Amino acid sequence: MKFLRYLLIGTVFGITLAKAEVISWFRIYEMFKFQSFHMYGVIGSAIVVGIIVIQLIKRKKLKSIDGERIIIAPKQFSWSRYIIGGTIFGLGWAMTGACPGPMFILLGNGVGVILVVIASAVLGTYVYGKIRHKLPH
């Protein structure tokens, strides 16, 4: 059962975001209003530890479980794609209070109506796929 590991890591991630109140709509609102340090602490400390981890991976040339070098694919730089796409995402994030991770956790947390948000997000991704040739990237 090689998938079991992903289920386990996902479970840890889900419990973490639930127990740290990251899945709370109100925490996201509060973050965008700069009325608390909490979310900045969560994301900020994740990035600080993340930077250390990735520097270690690169400098020590760490290998994955399959014995291959861990490589993080660089994202191709562009202005329009990230600013426009990011802004659209941000509008939705502040509205739903949930990004693609917390949506799934909220479902497990008993917020059934979040299924509508997930379904709409799938539809949004589909529409992007349909019209992406016409969008600036």
Partner 1 sequence: MSQLLDWISQPWPWYVAGPLIAMVMFSMLFFGKSFGLSANLRTMCSILGAGKSCDFFDFNWRDQMWNLVFAAGLVLGGLISYLYLGYEPAANISETTITELKAFGIENPGENVVPTEIFNWENLLSVQGIIFMVLGGFLVGFGTRYAGGCTSGHAISGLSDLQPASLLAVVGFFIGGLVMTYFILPHLLVM
- Min dist. Cβ of residue 116 to partner 1 (A): 5
Task: Residue 104: count other Cβ atoms within 10 Å of its Cβ.
Answer: 17
Long-range contacts: 98-104, Cβ < 8 Å, 24+?
98/23, 98/25, 98/28, 101/13, 101/17, 102/17, 102/22, 102/23, 104/14
- Min dist. Cβ of residue 59 to partner 1 (A): 13
Nearer to partner 1, 61 or 94 (CB): 94
- Min dist. Cβ of residue 117 to partner 1 (A): 4
> 64 Cβ partners below 8 Å, 6+ apart?
70
